[in-house]
């Protein structure tokens, strides 16, 4: 029998904790702390495919690009996505390999640089919504808008961040490779940062575009294509909330597709943060998936056992 597959999506902000500078040492330490849930899934008999965000990391890389302008050639956003997909994949791959050895688990961990096709006519190209990079106070955000022409938006009452276009993912180019490696028993890291965004040209060639793809939406597409059992999205909070950080805040432990769609329409889940996670859960279940879970990076075991987190199920 084939093992049930769980796709575990690690949030980019979960890899850089609030208040940290985001140094390489800090990120390695955070990755190591995130592995308990992955190990638990492996010991429960799941095949594990890992995806991850890169919002803070790609934003920091773009700041480096700006700082070195006129000294070295510019790196376009799509290449920055590819660079951070490889770098974060390496951190997870090395950290997990070391942990598996200590646990006595003989498994290979492999990172697949993943291209993701988007529609070149997607309306998102003219409507930047996806936050990347660090948080700024209002004065800093306004200065970057004036000096660099960045689009800036408030992010869930936590501060201001740069926002860029984020078209919907359509297809994972390397989906067959991910599926083959997973079925062979390897632990695969794929679709990092939502994958490297590409469009199909008229002649069928792929061409990179300077946007970012939401990693949860891309994770749902990947989970669909490899026929995963569960999509688990790990972030900085333990539950999905109604009225997040407001006086009538309420944690949700279970949502049906209909309830999730209604709350999404009512605006409870912002497009730059929780909204894509809820939409990814809806998409995955609609496409035939069995279960979606949203919780914090340290609550995987409890969430799988039904003791915490937000479980999204079919009606």
Q: Nearest 5°: phi and psi at 192? A: -60, 135
Which member of 55, 179, 192, 277 is catalytic?
277
- Based on the residue annotation, tell me whether 215 is a catalytic residue of this protein: yes
How far is 285 from 224, CA to CA, in rounded Å? 9
Rg (CA), the chain: 19
In order, the DSSP letters of 173-195 are: TTHHHHHHHHHTT-EEE-SGGG-
Which member of 59, 60, 130, 179 is catalytic?
130
> Cα–Cα distances in Å, from 41 out to 104, 111, 297?
15, 19, 13
- Based on the residue annotation, tell me whether 60 is a catalytic residue of this protein: no
Which member of 37, 54, 133, 215 is catalytic?
215
> Cα–Cα distances in Å, from 15 out to 55, 162, 189, 288?
10, 19, 15, 30
Which member of 12, 78, 194, 309 is catalytic?
12
Nearest to 290 by CA among 7, 81, 1: 7
Which member of 11, 13, 53, 272 is catalytic?
13
How far is 69 from 310, CA to CA, in rounded Å? 44
Residues 174, 290: contact at Cβ < 8 Å?
no
8-state DSSP, 122: -
- Based on the residue annotation, tell me whether 12 is a catalytic residue of this protein: yes
Residues 250, 239: contact at Cβ < 8 Å?
no
- Residues taking part in catalysis: 12-13, 130, 215, 277
């Amino acid at each position: 029998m084939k093992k049930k597959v769980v796709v575990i999506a690690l949030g980019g902000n979960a890899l850089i904790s609030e208040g940290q500078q985001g140094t390489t040492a800090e990120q390695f330490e955070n990755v190591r702390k995130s592995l308990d849930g992955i190990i638990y899934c492996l010991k429960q008999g799941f095949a594990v495919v890992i995806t991850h965000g890169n919002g803070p990391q790609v934003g920091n890389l773009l700041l480096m690009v700006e700082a070195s302008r006129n000294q070295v050639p510019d790196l376009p956003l799509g290449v920055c996505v590819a660079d951070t997909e490889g770098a974060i994949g390496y951190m997870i791959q090395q950290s997990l390999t070391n942990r598996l050895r200590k646990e006595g688990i003989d498994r290979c961990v492999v990172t697949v640089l993943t291209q993701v096709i988007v529609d070149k006519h997607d309306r998102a190209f003219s409507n930047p919504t996806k936050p990347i990079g660090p948080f700024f106070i209002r004065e800093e955000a306004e200065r970057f808008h004036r000096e660099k022409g960045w689009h800036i938006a408030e992010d869930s009452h936590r501060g201001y961040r740069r926002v860029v276009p984020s078209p919907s993912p359509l297809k994972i180019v390397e989906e067959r490779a991910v599926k083959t490696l997973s079925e062979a028993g390897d632990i695969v890291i794929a679709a990092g940062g939502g994958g490297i965004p590409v469009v199909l040209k008229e002649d069928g060639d792929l061409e990179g575009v300077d946007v970012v793809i939401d990693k949860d939406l891309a994770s749902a597409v990947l989970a669909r294509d490899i026929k995963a059992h569960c999509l688990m999205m790990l972030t900085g909070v333990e539950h999905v909330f109604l009225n997040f950080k407001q006086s009538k805040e309420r944690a949700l432990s279970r949502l049906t597709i209909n309830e999730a769609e209604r709350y999404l329409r009512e605006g409870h889940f912002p497009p730059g943060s929780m909204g894509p996670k809820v939409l990814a859960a809806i998409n995955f279940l609609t496409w035939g998936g069995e279960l979606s879970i949203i919780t914090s990076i340290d609550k995987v075991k409890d969430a799988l056992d039904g003791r915490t987190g937000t479980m999204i199920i079919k009606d």
